[in-house]
Structure 1
Amino acid sequence: MEIINSFMAWLFKSRLKQIENFKSHPHEAQKEIFDELIEAGKKTKFGKSHDFKNIKSYQDFVDRVPIHDYESMKPYIDQTMAGEQRVIWNTDIEWFAKSSGTTSSRSKYIPVSTESLEECHYKGGKDLVSVYVKNNPDTKMFSGKNLAIGGSLEKNPLNPQGTAKAGDISAVIMQNLPIWAQIIRTPSLNVALMDEWEAKIEKLARDTMDENVITITGVPTWTIVLLQKILELKKADNILQVWPNLEVFFHGAVAFGPYRSVFEKLIPSSKMRYMETYNASEGFFGLQDQPDSDELLLMLDYGVFFEFIPMEDWEKEDPKVVSLKGVEVDKNYALLITTNGGLWRYKIGDTIKFTSTDPYRFRISGRTKHFINAFGEEVIVENAERAIQKAADQTSASISNFTAAPVYFDRDGSKGAHEWIVEFHSEPTNMEEFGSLLDKNLREINSDYDAKRYKDLALTKPIIHLAPAGIFDSWLAKRGKLGGQHKVPRLSNERNFLEEILEMIPEEASS
């Protein structure tokens, strides 16, 4: 087993030179991707209707191809789902990733070509391991199992009898993994792809708790639920009593900060490692290449061409758009992608801030529709997560989930506020202190919020509701979005999410 572990570790290191190459030559790497995408696009219905044959430069591309959101791409995607090929990509598309649709109540179906699977999602997974092995040469990760927690598959809703299928991106990836990758993962595929989450957690736990699990890949929220179920079944105090060789958790989808203290309690070891990824339905975009940093390296040779919209231009009819060459450090950008899955100048809905341009590293700052700006305070998800995590640390609490929305000015002259619903793994000893610290931290992090809070001129102190355990899961289940990569919107400028959850909380429990 030691020989196999050493060989696999050596094999994965071979990719590191290519990563160093795009770090050193980022614009050349993106130019090569751009040229490949345009050439492929010439053979598609989309490319012909947008005159791809006369695109000779990036400016030609900008002039001919408008910015798209899901609604404007949907007619092309629907044609592909119905069975027509060469609409948006030059090879057959047989898979569609069902997006959680956190920005609307309707699901989205993102095309997944063979190229996007092989050259983006799988390449990202291989690079994740390569970078981890480089940073941790003593790893034993290939001597045991990788526990992968994924979503489920479903029939193509536009062509149930056709060959094309749909599902969470994690399920699509698992279903198509090569044999060698299937051998080293757990649980069995039929369990991993179950769609009923309450039953799935039980089966996942029983299927994996007696394996030699060394690595875990998944979303923090569902991983915690699974680990707690395993502890219950094994009657253990912590996960190291179940999996003594566990060494790393590869995580993504939500910010890890609010969950770190919970994992440290579940896995009480200073040697346990955590590594973040940015892997969405639309593609694999970044990974944490420095073990002691929370920055992500932008992966520039995955068949994805990147553009960026400064958030101050986001709502303009003709927003400013910059390529990689034009980005600035510490500025909030909406991500615009063109991919080898057939998305063209597509607004993914995520926002990022660059921390470095040599190489290009960044942090995920939030969602274009997940913010609170009811009073000019411009609070983004990154602000909220930092503030609430710090408040939890200061009060020896740990967060399970949260959401927040504005309380708008009333006709009677009452002032506005931010209203929060917070579910804890372990509650603070003093909720009033927690609320004061949350407010204080947010004021320190966001000067616009601080200005609106000055002497309660526009905003009064936040209203905080203590949610009973499981309330957010119940809300997701009610909306048919329990499991997979579905997640609770952290912030919203509207009150509909918050009101729905408040209605589910017993009055005596929320105070």
Structure 2
Amino acid sequence: MARFIANQESRWIEDPVEFQKKWLSKLVKTAIPTQFGADHRFAEVRTYDDFRQAVPIRDYEGLKPYIERIKKGEEHVLWPGRPLYFAKTSGTTSGTKYIPISGDSISNHIDSARNAILSYINQTGKSGFLDKGLIFLSGSPVLTETSGIKTGRLSGISNHHVPAYLRSNQLPSYETNCIEDWETKLEKIIDETLHQEMGLISGIPPWMQMYFDRIIQRTGRPIKDVFPDFSLLIYGGVNFEPYRARLFESIGKPVDSIETYPASEGFIAYQDSQEDEGLLLLLNTGIFFEFIPLDSYFSDNPQRLRLQEVETGKSYALVINNNAGLWGYSIGDTVKFVSTNPYRIVVSGRVKHFISAFGEHVIGDEVEKALKHAMERHPETVVTEFTVAPMVTPAEGLPYHEWLIDFARPPKDPEKFRDDLDAAMTRLNIYYDDLITGNILRKLVITPLRENAFVDYMRSEGKLGGQNKVPRLSNDRVIAEKLAQWKKTD
């Protein structure tokens, strides 16, 4: 099966631009009879330029009037018929978002997750983990209804579509997965898995780390001794690098890993190689992609590029048009291409997660790379979690960027670690360098936080567990001020 799927995938990988062109044509033609298609003259669209002129770039707020009509029970609004599901997710500015998943688009989510595993099996020849326990740390599969449309978290929706050949070994149980309180659920998951032969563990890194920590607390043993058959880690949702050292230290042995890039709006990419950098952009699953150069994103007329127009090493805001009826939809992520043959990407940050209090426009990719560099210079250092915020009006001295860090193991020389971190930032961002050398900003300040500070913060916000995560950086001090209560005092 893995070989069969790999052969199928190779067809579009060898001719990605043509497949994207076909998807644009198919999407537009299918949506002609919809309300959105009528409003945007889809019957007159013949070329990409026609499409670009007809369909503006929107975020959720821009598309919300159409989604509200669907929520009231209307049909043929964004896509023919009605959605099969609403993936319910929280937005930073929009409150709760309802992302449509259609009968046509559900395969993008389910088959892509399957293909990530099959791609790994085809490349490595390893499949023994499928005979062991498979744990998927996810949100609750309990679904509600919105005007007859099943509604829930994406991970919960996906849980209903786990293939039969995986379901027999799947953990935790459905009953445990339905527990809403994360810490109660976590203890039950440990009860169910502790004495199983686990082969695969999947989830977002901070919650996998919490799972590992609780097991080690219970048993006093590293994960490799608790689960000797554990051989494959699947993760997504955040950049893995800041978590890598501590996760593998908890495991106690090297294991293979697969990075995935699922979003409520679509399964975007997955790691198709254990050797090559980046994630394979999925160009034949019902999504036509567009890319906006990050420096153009906030302009009145942002530049929109097709796949064949992108360049490696540049940050682009990701825009999707899909067979669930998302049109010109900016999902809020930024990506960089590390290869164009095949098209492989890395997630470089969030469009709205940046620091530019002084015009520096620092992005997530830069702070993560800077931290990785500092940790390489100080290999004894292990970071559990961090976030960065500007301090515009300090009590004394020049403004600065504050790094709030929960160290599992702090650096032996905190001052040198800070200097190396700041030096990396000046190399990665010329505007930040100008502000430092021009004495507009002083060197960054590191604020160590108490152990589990971010867990305690997420608990206080009612966002512990599931797919929730703390932004790497923000242009205000809302999160930083809330985290201040967990500052380390010794």
Q: What's the TM-score, normalizing by structure 1? A: 0.91
Aligned ranges 1:269-418 → 2 under 5 Å: 269-270=253-254, 272-395=255-378, 396-408=380-392, 414-418=397-401
Q: Is the 8 A contact 2:60 2:94 kept in 1?
A: no
Q: CA deviation at 1:156?
A: 4.9
Q: CA deviation at 1:413?
A: 8.8
- Residue 478 of structure 2: which of 484, 488, 496 is its match? 496
- Residue 481 of structure 1: which of 441, 445, 463 is its match? 463
Q: 1:333 to 1:223 in 2, by over 3 A?
A: same
Q: 2:397 & 2:250 partners in 1: Cα distance? A: 44
Which segments of 5 or more consecutive residues in structure 2 lack a partner in the other structure? none
Deviations 1:227-247 (A, max 9, x none): 1212233x1421111211111
% identity of equivalent residues: 35
Q: Is the 8 A contact 1:295 1:355 kept in 2?
A: yes
Q: 1:154 to 1:188 in 2, by over 3 A?
A: closer
Q: Which residue of 1 aligns with 2:6?
A: 16
Q: 1:303 & 1:510 partners in 2: Cα distance? A: 52
Deviations 1:15-53 (A, max 9, x none): 112222222101111012112211221132211222212
Look up the equivalent residue of 1:427 and give its one-letter code. Answer: P
Which SS does the other structure have where 2:151 is aligned?
Answer: strand
Q: Which residue of 2 aligns with 1:40?
A: 30
Q: Is the 8 A contact 1:206 1:230 kept in 2?
A: no
Q: Is the 8 A contact 2:235 2:260 kept in 1?
A: yes
Q: Is the 8 A contact 2:277 2:338 kept in 1?
A: no
Q: CA deviation at 1:107?
A: 2.4
TM-align CA RMSD: 2.0
Q: 1:437 & 1:100 partners in 2: Cα distance? A: 36
Q: Which residue of 2 aligns with 1:226?
A: 211
1:466 aligns with 2:451: no
Q: 2:51 & 2:194 partners in 1: Cα distance? A: 52
Q: CA deviation at 1:69?
A: 0.9
Deviations 1:434-493 (A, max 9, x none): 222211222233233223222x61210112111112222222233232221111011111
Q: Which residue of 2 aligns with 1:163?
A: 148
Q: Is the 8 A contact 2:142 2:156 kept in 1?
A: no
Which SS does the other structure have where 2:95 is aligned?
Answer: coil
Q: CA deviation at 1:510?
A: 5.2
Q: Which residue of 1 aligns with 2:238?
A: 254
Look up the equivalent residue of 2:345 and give its one-letter code. Answer: F
Q: 2:144 & 2:328 partners in 1: Cα distance? A: 25
Deviates more, 1:202-211 or 1:420-429: 420-429
Q: Is the 8 A contact 1:175 1:189 kept in 2?
A: no
1:69 aligns with 2:59: yes
1:106 aligns with 2:95: yes
Q: 1:510 to 1:279 in 2, by over 3 A?
A: farther
Q: Which residue of 1 aligns with 2:114?
A: 126
Q: Is the 8 A contact 1:405 1:495 kept in 2?
A: yes
Q: Is the 8 A contact 2:34 2:76 kept in 1?
A: yes
Q: Is the 8 A contact 2:2 2:118 kept in 1?
A: yes
Q: Is the 8 A contact 2:318 2:333 kept in 1?
A: yes
1:143 aligns with 2:131: yes
1:505 aligns with 2:486: yes
Which SS does the other structure have where 1:107 is aligned?
Answer: strand
Q: 1:468 & 1:320 partners in 2: Cα distance? A: 44
Q: CA deviation at 1:397?
A: 1.6
Q: 2:232 & 2:432 partners in 1: Cα distance? A: 37
Deviates more, 1:103-112 or 1:356-365: 103-112
Which SS does the other structure have where 2:238 is aligned?
Answer: coil
Look up the equivalent residue of 2:445 and give its one-letter code. Answer: I
Q: Give the aligned length.
A: 489
1:264 aligns with 2:248: yes
Q: 1:510 to 1:60 in 2, by over 3 A?
A: farther
Q: CA deviation at 1:134?
A: 2.0
Q: Is the 8 A contact 1:94 1:163 kept in 2?
A: no
Q: 1:425 & 1:342 partners in 2: Cα distance? A: 44
Look up the equivalent residue of 2:110 and give its one-letter code. Answer: Y
Q: CA deviation at 1:500?
A: 2.1
Q: CA deviation at 1:105?
A: 7.0
Q: What's the TM-score, normalizing by structure 2? A: 0.95
Q: 1:285 to 1:510 in 2, by over 3 A?
A: farther
1:241 aligns with 2:225: yes
Q: Which residue of 2 aligns with 1:184?
A: 169
Q: 2:391 & 2:245 partners in 1: Cα distance? A: 30
Which SS does the other structure have where 1:385 is aligned?
Answer: helix
